[in-house]
Each structure stands twice: as structure tokens, then as C-alpha cells.
Structure 1
Amino acid sequence: MQYLEFKISCDEHYREILIAELAEVGFDSFLETDEGFDAYIPEDSFDRNNYTQVIAQYADVADLSVVESKMDKVNWNEEWEKHYDPITVGDQVYVRASFHNPRTEFPYEIQINPKMSFGTGHHATTFLMLSHQLGIDHRGKRVLDIGSGTGILAIMAHKLGAASIEAFDIDEWCVENGNENFDLNGMSAVRMGKGTVREVNPQGLFDIVLANINKNVLLDEMEVYSHLVKEGGFLLLSGFYEHDVEDIAERALAVGFVEKAIETKDQWAALVMEKV
């Protein structure tokens, strides 16, 4: 099978958004670069019309340039070894791939072998969510991870002592990769579901709900979240810019949450909300 390769140069602030948009139209692998990212899609599943619509939407605002080429099937493990570096969250969390050496001086080590660039910890929103999790007692708690991606936040919850974890994502690729990462981190009893929060329809109340998605989805699903978080429980939100905080917080307040903490990084933001 041959792949099409698109070397995309873009404004850094639009990188994650473009990756998400291209994933929605069939691109299945991404490698971040200094200039932007490389995107890959099997030639037989490429829909040029859908691709063109995405590029046209961001061409001007994201300062886009694209170089398209064709390539043979890629050894993605080899490619990730070339491009994927470990990350740290303070002196507490070390996120690495299985081909990196462990570092025992960190209290929490997470292994992630990502098949695409969602949730590796490199993006500011994932970093911020991990940072917020460190400040919340997960011991013995019931945790829900919405839009789980690689499963990194669910894995963090497990490392922090959560008693019960549920996770799901809308993308089949993420579900497969998330389950592989769960196995790497001693979570074989946890299996990632597929669908939106309304489709999966989690049952009962949760002590902690994690949602690192995007502004529009968070606003649309906020009332659903309000029925999932128990009184005194926490809702952790990210996937939006600093200038969107007011809209997100206002919507959360309207359905029974109060703001407890906020962190920002590289113009992205993450909120901790408490159910009252």
C-alpha cells in the first residue's frame, strides 16, 4: 500500500487544530516538525475534496504551505523513534516511549507509543491537564476520560491511584492505540470505548471527569458533563485558547460548576471546575 505524504508548514498555534481536522478526513499518522508537521494517508482512502476544504479553511489564517508527495508504506515505529522525545511535567511525571530508558527519579512514569500526534504530552493542553491532575487526589476515585486519544490522562489517573477508570474516543485509531498504551502501563483491565459522550452514555456519577477536546465540543457537551460529575467532584477541561476561558467558564457555571484553578501555556488554557 502506498501513502501520500503532505509536508505542512504552518503557524504553531494552528498545528494541533489542523492535525485534528485532517484526522477527521482520513489522515492516520502525523509527525511534528520544526516548521509544522508531516501528515500521511493511504492513497486508496484519500478524498481530495475533503482535504482541500480543510486546507482552504486555514490557508490564510495559519500561514499554510504544503508539499505533497507519494511514498511506500512507512515503518511508523522507526519514524517515531526518530522524532519522539520524552517529556517531563516538573519533577513528578516522565512520559516516554517504550524504546526510551526509564528514569526512576520521577515518581510517575508513563509509557506512550503513539500512532499519531494526539496526547503524547508534547502539546500544551496535555501538559496542562497532567499538571492539574497532580493537584487532585485520585486515590480510590472513579474517573472518566472523554476524548482519551492515546489514553495518557487515563493512565495518569491510574498512576495516581484511581480505583475505577473509563475512557473513550470517537476515533478507531485512538481506541486501538489507547488500549495498547493501557497494556504498557499495567491497565489491561481497562478497555477504551468508541463514540461521543452521548453515544457511549456513561452510567452513574464520577469523582473526576477529564475532557481535553476543543472549545465547541466542550460547550456543546457541558450539560452532559454536569450530570456525570458528583457533588464535590472535579471537571478538568482543556483544548481551548486563553481567550476562550471566559466562554468555557461561563457555560460551566450555568450548569452547576465553579472555577477552582486555571493554568496556561503557549496561549492554551486548562481549567479545574468543581461541581456544587
Structure 2
Amino acid sequence: MDYLELKITCLEDFREILIAELAEIGFDSFLETEEGVDAYAPEQEFDREAFLELIEKYKLPAQISWHESKMPKVNWNEEWEKNYDPIEVDDLVFVRASFHDPAPGFQYEIVINPKMSFGTGHHATTYQMLKHQAEIDHKGKRVLDVGSGTGILAIMAHLLEAQEIEAFDIDEWCVENGNENFDLNGLSTRMDIGTIREVNPQGKFDIILANINKNILLDEMEIYAELLDSKGFLLLSGFYTEDIEDLLECAAPLGLSLYKKNSKDNWAALILQKD
């Protein structure tokens, strides 16, 4: 069966919602790019009318343009091997796909099966979040991973001996994939599905991890502050260095102050601490 490849150019803030909506109309694989999203669907199952309606809905706000082509049946493992490289965080942790060989010299290893989309900021934001996690004592702590995706940060919390970990994501693919990755790494936690308002986690948490995007972080900042225990830490990434001030301005009235900041390839990461 041939696949249709739709190369969609769009604004960064709309990538996640486009992926979620495209998945609802028959697309089964995605790859985030610097320009937007590459989406794939079996040709025989492609609902062109639904696709065009979706594109029209977001064309102006997301500044969408797109190009369609056909490709033979895809071996997705091979595609991920081409597009996914391991993440090395100093000598701390080696994050590899199951099709990569282990590497010596790291304190920890995380193994994942990448069955979902990967963003252009994947390495930079994940790298910084993992590095910041290692700077915060997780032992015996209660940790919340918001928008867990492949589950890498929750797994790292487990390796750092967190006592209790809750994780969730809005995407069914992420939840399925994340739970597989939890199993691969000996984490018994099950990832939930929904937004933070729908999942409604019950605080207090010692550490909250949120590697999402600026708009969602700003929208949910008050919820994070409410869930965070006094002196607890909020680790944020998924936004650009020029967005740091906006996030700090939003956090300050909520009793969240800057503990540390970092940047890599123009992607930023913050550690905030609650008063």
C-alpha cells in the first residue's frame, strides 16, 4: 500500500494541534520539521475532504502551505533511524532508541521506541530538561510530568529515585508510546490522557516538569503554582530564549522565582522555585 506524504508548513505554535487533528482523520505517522510537519497516511484511507476542511480551518491563523507526494509503503523503523539520533547529556545519561547500540561511560541509560513525532527542538529541550533534572534532588520526591510525550523525563525522574511519578499527555499516540517506554525502563507508572485540567492531578508535588511550548506554559502557569509545594521546583522548556522574560513575568506574581536558566541552540530552559 502506498502512502501519501503531506509536507505542511505552519507556525510552530500550531504543530501539536495539527498533529492531533490529522491523527483523527487517518494520518498515522508524523515528523516535525523546521518548517512545520510532515504527515503520512495510507493512500486508500486518505479522507481528502476532511483534510481540506482541516487545512482551511487553520490556513490563516497557522499560515499554512502544503505539498503532497506519494511514497511506497514505509518501514517506519528505518525512517526513525534516519531522523532520530541518541541524546548524550554529558556523562549523565544516554537516551537511545531501541535500534541503537548501548554506549559506555554514562551514569544512566534511557531506551525508547520512537513511534511518534519528534520536534526540531527535541534534542535541545530534552537535553536541557534532563540536565536540570540532575541538578534537583528527586530522591523520595513526588514528581509530575506535564505533556510527557515519549516519557523520557518521567523515566529520568524514576532513575533519580523519585518516590511517586504522575505523567500525562493530550495525544493517544503519546500515551501508548510513553507507556511502552515506561515498561522498557522498569517504570510501573501509567501515563494518563488529557490536558492538565482534564486529568486534574492532586497536589502537592515537589517537582513539576513541563517541556511543552510557550503558549501552553503561560496558560497553565497558575495551575503549576497551585500544585507545587513550598520550595518545590518547576522545570520548564519548549520555548525560545526570547520568550524567557514573558514566562518570568507570568511566574513572578504566582510566587515562582528564577532558580536557574540555560539555553541551547536558541531553545531555553528554566528552573523556577516556589516561595
TM over 0.5: yes
Report the TM-score range of the alignment, normalised by the length of the smaller protein: 0.7 to 0.9
1:49 to 33, 53, 60: 53
Aligned partner letter, 2:177: N
Q: Which residue does 2:78 correspond to in 1? A: 78
Separation in 1 of the partners of 2:197 and 2:180? 25
Write out per-residue CA displacement over residues 82-139 of structure 1, whole angstroms, 9 at most, x where no aligned residue.
3322121122111101111111311011112111234798432222211211111111
Moved more, 230-239 or 34-43: 34-43
Separation in 2 of the partners of 1:113 and 1:93? 17
TM alignment of 1:96-175, pairs within 5 A? 96-118=96-118, 122-175=122-175
Contact residue 171 and residue 194 of structure 1 kept, 8 A = yes
Report the CA distance between 1:24 and its aligned residue: 2.8
Contact residue 118 and residue 149 of structure 1 kept, 8 A = no
Report the CA distance between 1:165 and its aligned residue: 0.6
Contact residue 168 and residue 191 of structure 2 kept, 8 A = yes
Contact residue 113 and residue 181 of structure 2 kept, 8 A = yes
TM alignment of 1:1-276, pairs within 5 A? 3-7=3-7, 17=13, 19-27=15-23, 28-31=28-31, 38-42=38-42, 43-45=45-47, 47-54=51-58, 56-57=60-61, 59=63, 66-71=66-71, 73-118=73-118, 122-187=122-187, 189-276=188-275
Separation in 2 of the partners of 1:98 and 1:137? 28
> Partner of 1:233: helix, strand, or coil?
strand
Are the structure 2 counterparts of residues 229 and 250 from structure 1 closer, same or farther at C-alpha, using a change threshold of 3 Å?
Answer: same
Moved more, 87-96 or 174-183: 87-96
Question: RMSD across aligned C-alpha pairs, in angstroms?
Answer: 2.6
Separation in 1 of the partners of 2:84 and 2:176? 19
Report the CA distance between 1:230 and its aligned residue: 0.5
Report the CA distance between 1:175 and its aligned residue: 0.4
Contact residue 142 and residue 205 of structure 2 kept, 8 A = yes
Separation in 2 of the partners of 1:259 and 1:78? 42
Are the structure 2 counterparts of residues 127 and 51 from structure 1 closer, same or farther at C-alpha, using a change threshold of 3 Å?
Answer: farther
Separation in 1 of the partners of 2:160 and 2:119? 18
Separation in 2 of the partners of 1:58 and 1:209? 30
Report the CA distance between 1:18 and its aligned residue: 5.7
Contact residue 119 and residue 151 of structure 1 kept, 8 A = no
Report the CA distance between 1:254 and its aligned residue: 1.0
Report the CA distance between 1:183 and its aligned residue: 0.8
Contact residue 33 and residue 120 of structure 2 kept, 8 A = no
Are the structure 2 counterparts of residues 154 and 78 from structure 1 closer, same or farther at C-alpha, using a change threshold of 3 Å?
Answer: same
Separation in 1 of the partners of 2:236 and 2:85? 25
| Stretches of structure 2 lacking an aligned partner (at least 5 in a row) | none
- Percent of pairs identical after alignment? 64
Report the CA distance between 1:17 and its aligned residue: 4.6
> Partner of 1:236: helix, strand, or coil?
strand
Separation in 1 of the partners of 2:79 and 2:215? 33
Separation in 2 of the partners of 1:163 and 1:251? 30
Report the CA distance between 1:20 and its aligned residue: 2.2
Separation in 2 of the partners of 1:113 and 1:259? 34
Report the CA distance between 1:235 and its aligned residue: 0.5
> Partner of 1:38: helix, strand, or coil?
strand
TM score, norm. by length of structure 1: 0.86
Separation in 1 of the partners of 2:51 and 2:105? 47
Separation in 1 of the partners of 2:34 and 2:228? 39
TM score, norm. by length of structure 2: 0.86
| Stretches of structure 1 lacking an aligned partner (at least 5 in a row) | none
> Partner of 2:22: helix, strand, or coil?
coil
> Partner of 1:227: helix, strand, or coil?
helix
Contact residue 2 and residue 72 of structure 1 kept, 8 A = yes
> Partner of 2:46: helix, strand, or coil?
helix
Contact residue 111 and residue 184 of structure 2 kept, 8 A = yes
Contact residue 147 and residue 211 of structure 2 kept, 8 A = yes
Separation in 2 of the partners of 1:32 and 1:50? 18
